[in-house]
Amino acid sequence: MSETFDYVVIGGGSAGSVLGNRLSEDGKRSVLILEAGRSDYPWDLLIQMPAALPFPAGKSLYDWKYESDPEPYMNGRRIKHARGKVLGGSSSINGMIYQRGNPLDYERWGADEGMETWNFAHVLPYFKRLENALAADPDDEYRGHDGPIKLERGPAKNPLFQAFFDSAVEAGYNRTPDVNGYRQEGFGPFDKHIYKGRRFSASRAYLDPVKSRQNLTIRTRAFVESIDFDGTRANGVTYRRNGKTHQVKAGEVVLAGGAINTPQLLQLSGVGDAEHLQSLGIKPVVNLPGVGENLQDHLEAYIQYSCPKPVSEQPSLNKLRMPWIGLQWLLGRKGPAATNHFEGGGFIRSNEDVDYPNLMYHFLPVAVRYDGQKADTKHGFQVHVGPMYSDARGSLKIRSKDPREHPSMIYNYLSTEQDRREWIEAVKITREIMSQPAMAPYNSGEISPGSSFQTDEEILEWVKNDAETALHPSCTAKMGPESDPMSVVDPKTMKVHGLDNVRVVDASAMPYVTNGNIHAPVLMLAEKAADLILGKDPLKPENVDYYRHGVDQAEAGIVTS
Ligand SMILES: Cc1cc2nc3c(=O)[nH]c(=O)nc-3n(C[C@H](O)[C@H](O)[C@H](O)COP(=O)(O)OP(=O)(O)OC[C@H]3O[C@@H](n4cnc5c(N)ncnc54)[C@H](O)[C@@H]3O)c2cc1C
């Protein structure tokens, strides 16, 4: 006899952790989380130690190791896509940068037909419910103060941060006290989901405190292969664990496997473009051509500089120093290993055609690529930059009936005029900021791309060959009304169109990627979705003012030094 649960949640990642907690909160419903990866053990240094963040990506023990097809506008390069394969999902291996996105991102969501309840006023209370913004003023009405996700800010004390912020001001941009508060646009310290020197992942925030609940079961190393249907009603799911196939019955199935696995699993289970499914010998349950389409992401590049002063964190990359740095962390959660080093950055508009920031900067007081490859310099630093709401769209399709075969994915980075224009602007503006007087004592030359890349064509060529994903795939099962043939998920219930009891709650359900890192928006989406699933009254919308360039508030909220 197979077991039965009220809710079977597929994936114990960022969204799955929120759901596990909220759906089991009142003790009335049984919840099973099936997570393909292993547990995020507290002794696993590569997860827990913030500065170890480059190590899990690319390792099968932590990462699904996806790859795009040859990208047609990137000289045919395949782009590597890391995804967390462990409890906590990508939040257990990510960069720990916390960005809500701009309020106008949600106004854009809410402007689409049927999406009114996802505008900024409606999502703000859920951001506040999830966060405990430790650096914020307790009276700050924009921030949450007692939610499960603890957030530290900055501190951005390395003198390179101050020089970067000052240079941005000298170049004509502004500072802002809190990019997640009243005003996103500007430069300043960033929030991070790190608490007392340790990664504060979604599983640590939402699952660790409630693991003993009788009605919550978490199964790791449980790989879901299909959703089992009786007509348009899901009975349960089939999964592999310890070399055996298991079936479990479900009142409801909630997909939370992330923007790559969720559309993959829907297609494997017969939910997707009927013609494509039939061509692979899969019987369609419902014809939903939007499954796997509308794929969005952020592409980013590292602009690196060498530094004549001995102030950067470059020496921390020296293998001989690592044991001492590790020891400092083990003994007191202190030292260079206790932070993600992405302690500050900024948001700007690169041209007058955009209403709100279209470029994000992360400043890093060290010159090193995400995979740990360091620049050849004694001291150095870099910025990560890239367009935040590119109009390029990609798609994802399974190649066969085999659930273990990675799907075909194409992102079409740089495929549009807007995208290419913003990339050229991004590199030129970065150079302008870095050549200001405040940066002069610290900047002894651009390492990458370097002086040979000057014309628009040269800059684009460098981007094609050098840029990487910022790891924000999303929007592959977008929310929208049933009247939109490309929408997949009903915004009021999170149910998949045409199915009785299957819902999607993860980065796939976003209609548009937001203009920042997307872990926080995914947590918000899951918090709100949990209320919708439980049929609770949603939190009351909060109509607060927020900074909009050129509109009524003019220059309010600016801090110039
Ligand atoms: C290396 C890296 C760095 C990043 N840095 C940042 C950052 O600094 N800040 C930020 O905001 N965002 C960052 N992101 C992005 C962010 O972490 C993700 O967008 C977000 O966590 C996605 O949440 P999710 O719930 O949609 O999916 P995930 O958190 O990826 O969760 C999906 C879960 O489902 C499981 N799963 C998948 N398929 C199955 C299956 N068939 N059966 C069972 N389980 C399954 C997976 O193992 C995983 O645990 C980063 C991502 C990566 C990979």
CA of 203 to the centre of ligand 1 (A): 11
**Predicted confidence (pLDDT) per residue in 413-439, tens digit:** 999 999 999 999 999 999 999 999 999
| Confidence grade of residue 2 (pLDDT, cut at 50, 70, 90) | confident
CA of 553 to the centre of ligand 1 (A): 37
Q: Give 481's contacts (C-beta < 8 A, 6+ positions apart).
A: 113, 114, 487, 490, 491
Is 341 a residue of the active site? no
Nearest CA to ligand 1 atom 49: 89
Q: Tokens standing for 553?
A: 């508030």
Amino acid 550: pLDDT: 85
Amino acid 373: pLDDT: 86
Q: Give 386's contacts (C-beta < 8 A, 6+ positions apart).
A: 298, 299, 300, 301, 359, 360, 423, 426, 467, 470
Nearest CA to ligand 1 atom 38: 257
Closest to 10 in 3D by CA, of 291, 254, 211: 254
Question: What whole-number distance in Å separates Cα of residue 42 and Cα of residue 195?
Answer: 14
Q: How high does pLDDT run on average in the chain?
A: 96
Amino acid 1: pLDDT: 57
| Confidence grade of residue 554 (pLDDT, cut at 50, 70, 90) | very low
Q: Give 276's contacts (C-beta < 8 A, 6+ positions apart).
A: 267, 397
- Mean pLDDT to the nearest integer, 542-549: 95
Question: Cis peptide leading into 449, omega within 30 of 0?
Answer: yes
Helix/strand number for the chain, H first, E second: 12, 26
Cβ atoms 18, 130 nearer than 8 A? yes
Q: Which residues of 280-366 form beta strands (DSSP E)?
A: 286-287, 299-306, 344-348, 359-364
Amino acid 552: pLDDT: 55
Residue 81 CA: nearest ligand 1 atom is: 53
Ligand 1 mutation pick, 60, 90, 405, max ligand atoms within 8 A of CB:
90
| Confidence grade of residue 105 (pLDDT, cut at 50, 70, 90) | very high
Cβ atoms 290, 486 nearer than 8 A? yes
**Predicted confidence (pLDDT) per residue in 25-76, tens digit:** 999 999 999 999 999 999 999 999 999 999 999 999 999 999 999 999 999 9
Cβ atoms 297, 473 nearer than 8 A? yes
CA of 198 to the centre of ligand 1 (A): 18
Question: What whole-number distance in Å separates Cα of residue 471 and Cα of residue 151?
Answer: 21
Question: Cis peptide leading into 155, omega within 30 of 0?
Answer: yes
Instruction: Give me the residue label for tokens 């077991």.
Output: 3
SS3 227: strand
SS3 171: coil
Could you say which DSSP state residue 240 is in? E
- Angle at which helices 519-534 and 120-130 cross, to 10°: 100
Q: Is the pLDDT of residue 458 over 90?
A: yes
Burial class (CB in 10 A: 0-12, 13-18, 19+), 336: buried
Question: What whole-number distance in Å separates Cα of residue 484 and Cα of residue 517?
Answer: 27
Residue-range domain boundaries for the chain: 1-41+83-150+194-298+391-405+471-536, 155-189+299-387+416-466
SS3 390: coil
Burial class (CB in 10 A: 0-12, 13-18, 19+), 177: middle
Cβ atoms 113, 483 nearer than 8 A? yes
Q: What angle do CA 255, 261, 266 make, to 5 degrees?
A: 60
Residue 517 CA: nearest ligand 1 atom is: 11
Residue type, 550: G
Ligand 1 mutation pick, 62, 478, 519, 527, max ligand atoms within 8 A of CB:
519
Could you say which DSSP state residue 295 is in? B
Q: Is the pLDDT of residue 231 over 70?
A: yes
CA of 12 to the centre of ligand 1 (A): 9
Q: Which CATH architecture has domain 1-41+83-150+194-298+391-405+471-536?
A: 3-Layer(bba) Sandwich (3.50)
Cβ atoms 167, 187 nearer than 8 A? no
CATH of 155-189+299-387+416-466, one of 1.10.3720.10, 1.10.730.10, 3.40.50.300, 3.30.410.40: 3.30.410.40
Q: Which helix (H) or strand (E) holds 125?
A: helix 120-130
Q: In terms of pLDDT, which residue wins out, 191 or 553?
A: 191
CA of 411 to the centre of ligand 1 (A): 18
Listed in sequence order, the DSSP H helices in 407-486 are: 417-434, 456-466
Ligand 1 mutation pick, 46, 62, 91, 384, max ligand atoms within 8 A of CB:
91
CA of 523 to the centre of ligand 1 (A): 11
Residue 99 CA: nearest ligand 1 atom is: 11
Please report, rounded to a whole number, the percentage of residues in the chain having pLDDT higher than 70: 98
Amino acid 559: pLDDT: 43
Q: Which helix (H) or strand (E) holds 105?
A: helix 103-111
Cβ atoms 203, 56 nearer than 8 A? no
Could you say which DSSP state residue 90 is in? G
| Confidence grade of residue 212 (pLDDT, cut at 50, 70, 90) | very high
Question: Where is the binding site for FAD, in residues?
Answer: 86, 224
**Predicted confidence (pLDDT) per residue in 115-141, tens digit:** 999 999 999 999 999 999 999 999 999
Equal CATH topology for 1-41+83-150+194-298+391-405+471-536 and 155-189+299-387+416-466: no
The 3-state DSSP composition of the chain as helix, strand, coil percent (nearest 5) reads: 25, 25, 50
SS3 206: helix
Question: What whole-number distance in Å separates Cα of residue 476 and Cα of residue 248?
Answer: 26
- Angle at which helices 159-170 and 417-434 cross, to 10°: 110
pTM exceeding 0.95: yes
SS3 505: coil
SS3 119: coil
Nearest CA to ligand 1 atom 37: 257
Closest to 307 in 3D by CA, of 520, 94, 159, 525: 159
Question: What whole-number distance in Å separates Cα of residue 530 and Cα of residue 25?
Answer: 10
Could you say which DSSP state residue 319 is in? T
Which is the catalytic residue, given 193, 341, 384, 472? Answer: 472
Question: What whole-number distance in Å separates Cα of residue 416 and Cα of residue 509?
Answer: 24
Nearest CA to ligand 1 atom 21: 90
Q: Is the pLDDT of residue 561 over 60?
A: no
Amino acid 558: pLDDT: 46
Q: Tokens standing for 126?
A: 């859920």
Residue type, 241: R
Question: What whole-number distance in Å separates Cα of residue 216 and Cα of residue 130?
Answer: 20
- Residues framing ligand 1 (Cβ under 6 A): 10-16, 34-37, 57, 82-85, 89-91, 93-97, 99, 223-224, 256-259, 261, 265, 471-472, 506-507, 517-520, 522
